[in-house]
Chains A and B, each alone.
Chain A
Amino acid sequence: MRDRVFGVLGLFKSGDALLEAVPRLKDKGFTQLEAYTPYPVHGLDEALGLPPSRVGVLVFIMALVGGLSAFGLEWWTSTVSYPLLTAGKAYNGWPGWIPVVFEATILFGTFTAGLGTLFVFNKLPFFGDPVFGTKATLDIGRDRFALVVLSADGSLDAPAASAALSAVGGEAIEVVPLPDRPKAGIGWWMKVVIGIAAACVVAGFGVAWAVRTMPTAKPWVAMEVQPKLDAQQADSFFANGRGMRRPPPGTVARAYMPILAKDPEQAGKALVDPLPVTARVLDRGQEMFNLHCAVCHDKLGTGKAWLSKRYKAQPANLQSSMMRQATDGALYWVISKGYGTMPGYAADVSQDDRWAIVRYVRALQRSEDAPTRDEVGARSPQPGQRFARSQPHPPSPATPN
């Protein structure tokens, strides 16, 4: 320990004296210098020849990485891997992702700035600096400016450096030994981990206690308090004290026609597809089918979607002859009420959309087993033209309207 030297330190009375000493020391051949001052001295960075900090570049790169990975994650999950319509927006609705991208950019940037500064530049987990162990430390913290001739490769001629420092006006010359840095062993890391865990526990209980005991002010309640009755809410206006009302006897809510049929067979006899024959209905059916049904039944209705590989129950093959022969009403009943493992979709998909799905299933069945007259003849579409848009499908024979 005694033979290892960090450098030789000299104190100066002012920042200007320090600034003047730097070039004179450099002239004497001592180029490895470091300064310790009670407050920033303008021009010192240039005089010492310090390179510009690399924190900015590091933060920029990591912020870009953060922003791009957030964007990439959103894009891949909701456009490529599992295309999902959200809030009626098109696939790849990137404006909605920007807040997350923004947050991730900031997060990566600030973490890089904070942790990067601590670990890369400030050399954590080692606390302190060899100069902090010197007699000059107190003076530097008060009103003295220290200049240290560093012994970068351990070959500094300490007496020569001391002489040079006092020649340029340095006082209280002192040789700074290089302390043995503790090895960060398992015990040290255990202390760190236990310390962080203890801090988390204390902070967690503290916050929980504060939230429970202190009154919370709500700055804006217009969303929470609305002049309406929520489900199950009590209200003194009505005689029975309940906010929820039964519909008047003999009435049915708009677009909520109850299905009275007990099974698909009964439904097939009772229910008739009410929608008009238009390309719009087919397009809507396609959209709803791809959104709700294709996950299990596959986009072509074969029942071999990727999900069924991981999922024991085998979804029905909509292209099977049984499904081709099933009536529209039966399909509508199954979509609404569910069948076997399949849940009912009445709560998620509106009445008209369920009929549009039935219509689209018929179109799928026809597309996989098209009669020759669909493909040849005077009505055949031009290349690139979508048949369903220009010439709506004639109603399939199974559709009774």
Chain B
Amino acid sequence: MNRARSTLWMLAALGGAGVVATYFLEGPKRFWENWLLWFVFLACIALGALFLVALQHLTGATWSVVLRRVPERIAALTPWLVPVGLIALFSLPVVFSWAQPGADKITPIVLKAHWLNYPFFIIRLVVCLALWVLSYAILVRGSIKQDSSRDPTITVKLRRYSPVFMIILALTITVFAFDWVSSLEATWYSDIFGVYLFAGATTTAIAVTLLAVIYLQSRGRLPDVTADHLYNLGGLLFGFTIFWGYIAFSQYLLQWYADLPAEVFWFRQRTVGSMEPVFILLGLGHFFVPFFALMTRSNKKNRKRLRWVAMWVVFMGFVDVFWLISPIIGQGVHLGWPELAFAVFFLASGLLVVGRAMSRGEDTPIGDPFLPDALEFQLR
């Protein structure tokens, strides 16, 4: 156990103590709000990373083979979601509006009762988690097996499974977004919300991948990843930044224009008072800053600048989830030691999980038949 790892263990223990203390000192509402926030944020990163892996197999991209191990290892967060998600089930009677006493008298919630009830909700979570862990096992374990067997048919199998995974992901992430974010305020309607969460998840996962690649390179690993590979990753991040902006604004514009009380209360909760600066920060920071920062070719090839942009985008991904979930415990921004404790606990334990995965298999998928193409990849 090296020093970095023992520091992370210590931080996780410290954060864990703060997490437990939150429950008793600040009350269960504050505790569950933060727990849900980190559950959703980690799920976004894990699913986004799985999406990136499957996207490469689906499109038959060869340039990215050299760095595919990085999103594969970040996706190691997926099994870690199982305990976090199952514990989160205990938050249902505390923070979910449809599970509160008196919810059976609110018409929109009654109309959704066939969907929002304890047994079905739990079944959905278990099915989602099972499908994600299964997909992780298929997509990542197979790829690691290839390191030693050098069997090209594994690539063929992964390419066949990835479209199936895309359909699974589209359905499960929509269910996940509706269940774990929308249904907190169960009278709200937004059909596009699943896509919104997916856009944010993919953007964050690409930024985390970029950060991990640049970090590993600073430690002398992944020597085959050139500025051209980083340029392509930066281009992906640029594209998904625009996609997020497009989806986020579409959702806002439609509800702003229709101005229906059943919809706008949700935005009001998130745009007035001390949430207003967060809202403005999200709009400017999640779209305009990375949009202009990633526009030029030189910025996408410069490791230092890319690292700054990627760090900023990951932070904005967190602000996005914070903006979605934190208003459920009342008006305004809630920031204090509990939030710090949760951040320390989940970041440290998440890094431990990913760090452990970093030692599994080779740094580059040496058994992949398309690796030579990836090594030769050049922009011009």
Closest to B378 in A: A42
The B-contacting residues of A in range 18-61, CB under 8 angstroms, are 40, 42-45, 52, 56, 60
Which one of A92-100, A168-176, A300-308 is at the interface? A92-100
- B46 CB to closest chain A CB (Å) equals 32
- Once A42-B378, A42-B380 are accepted as A-B contacts, the answer to whether A98 and B249 lie under 8 Å apart by CB is yes
How far apart sit A52 and B380, CA to CA, in the bound complex (Å)?
12
8 Å CB interface, B217-260 against A: 249, 252-253, 256-257, 259
Q: Are the CB atoms of A52 and B253 closer together than 8 Å?
A: no
Report whether B297 and A87 are in contact in the complex, using a CB–CB cutoff of 8 Å: no
Interface of B is mostly: helix
User: Is A88 positioned at the interface, with any CB of B under 8 Å from its CB?
Assistant: yes
* Chain B residues near A43 (CB-CB < 8 A): 378, 380
Instruction: Compute how far the CA of A88 lies from the CA of B296 in the bound complex, rounded to whole angstroms.
Output: 41
Q: Are A87 and B257 in contact (CB-based, < 8 A)? A: yes
Q: A60-B295, A87-B257, A88-B259 are in contact. Are A95 and B252 (CB under 8 A)?
A: yes
A96 and B253 contact, Cβ closer than 8 Å, known pairs A52-B297, A60-B295: yes
Q: Which residues of B contact A40 (CB under 8 A)?
A: 380
Contact pattern, B 79-123, Cβ under 8 Å of A = 1, otherwise 0: 000000000000000000000000000000000000000000000
Which residue of B249, B378, B380 has the most chain A CB atoms within 10 A of its CB atom? B380
Task: Bin chain B's interface residue count.
Answer: 10 to 19
- B240-292 contacts to A, CB under 8 A, are 249, 252-253, 256-257, 259
Q: CA–CA, A176 to B233, complex, Å?
A: 43
0 or 1 for each of A66-105: is its CB under 8 Å from B? (1 = yes)? 0000000000000000000001110000011011000000
Q: Which of A153-192 contact B (CB under 8 A)?
A: none
Q: CB < 8 Å: which of A44, A45, A95, A99 contacts B256?
A: A95
Task: Report the bound CA distance from A44 to B256 in whole Å.
Answer: 52
Residues in chain B near residue A42, CB distance under 8 A: 378, 380
A99 touches B257 (CB 8 A): no
* A99 proximity list for chain B (CB < 8 A): 253
* CB neighbours of A44 from chain B (8 A): 380
Residues in B with CB closer than 8 Å to A89 are 257, 259
Task: List chain B positions with a Cβ less than 8 A from chain A.
Answer: 249, 252-253, 256-257, 259, 295-297, 378, 380
Residues of A within 8 A of B (CB): 40, 42-45, 52, 56, 60, 87-89, 95-96, 98-99
23 residue pairs from A and B, CB less than 8 Å apart: A40-B380, A42-B378, A42-B380, A43-B378, A44-B380, A52-B297, A56-B297, A60-B295, A87-B257, A87-B259, A88-B259, A89-B257, A89-B259, A95-B249, A95-B252, A95-B253, A95-B256, A95-B257, A96-B253, A96-B257, A98-B249, A98-B253, A99-B253
